[in-house]
Amino acid sequence: MQQKTITGIRAFNRYYTSILGLLDRHILNSDYSLPEARILYELSQREGVQASGIIESLGIDKGYLSRILDQFATKKLIVRKRSQADGRLMHIYLTEKGRAASEKLNQASEEQLKTLLSSLSTADGEELSGHMTAIMNILLKADAAKEK
């Protein structure tokens, strides 16, 4: 890989994390860190997911996830239910409070992007989205090649 490519990617990463406020202690002026917000999102998208599914999706450390889930349980954002098919497995569900927190984060994220992109024309917004999809597809292809 050429150094120019690496330098360009790192510069973009610094810029994008900065404008989205991803380095702030709490994301989107909420009570949640970025990892916590991502876990809430995963739970909202996958009803009854097991911790192993979140670990696989996010590549998060098992112990770190466990601590976050324990905090969520204490705050009554989630409930854990033993699997009826296999009593050794636990499924994780958002409570009403957890769904409300997840929806609030989702709405804040939508608003943040609407504000960020408000000065762009529709064509520029579509072009930007297309480039981001292309980036994701290239990285997915590279990741799949590593797995072979």
Complete DSSP assignment for 66-91: HHHHHHHHHTTSEEEEE-SS-TT-EE
Return all residues near 116 (Cβ < 8 A) that are at least 6 apart.
19, 20
Flag whether the pTM goes above 0.75. yes
Whole-number Cα distances in Å, 36 to 30, 58, 124 = 11, 11, 32
For residue 90, which of 49, 60, 54 has the smallest C-alpha distance?
49
Residues 85-123 have pLDDT tens digits of 888 899 999 999 999 999 999 999 999 999 999 999 999
Mind listing the domains of the chain with CATH numbers?
A: 29-117 (1.10.10.10)
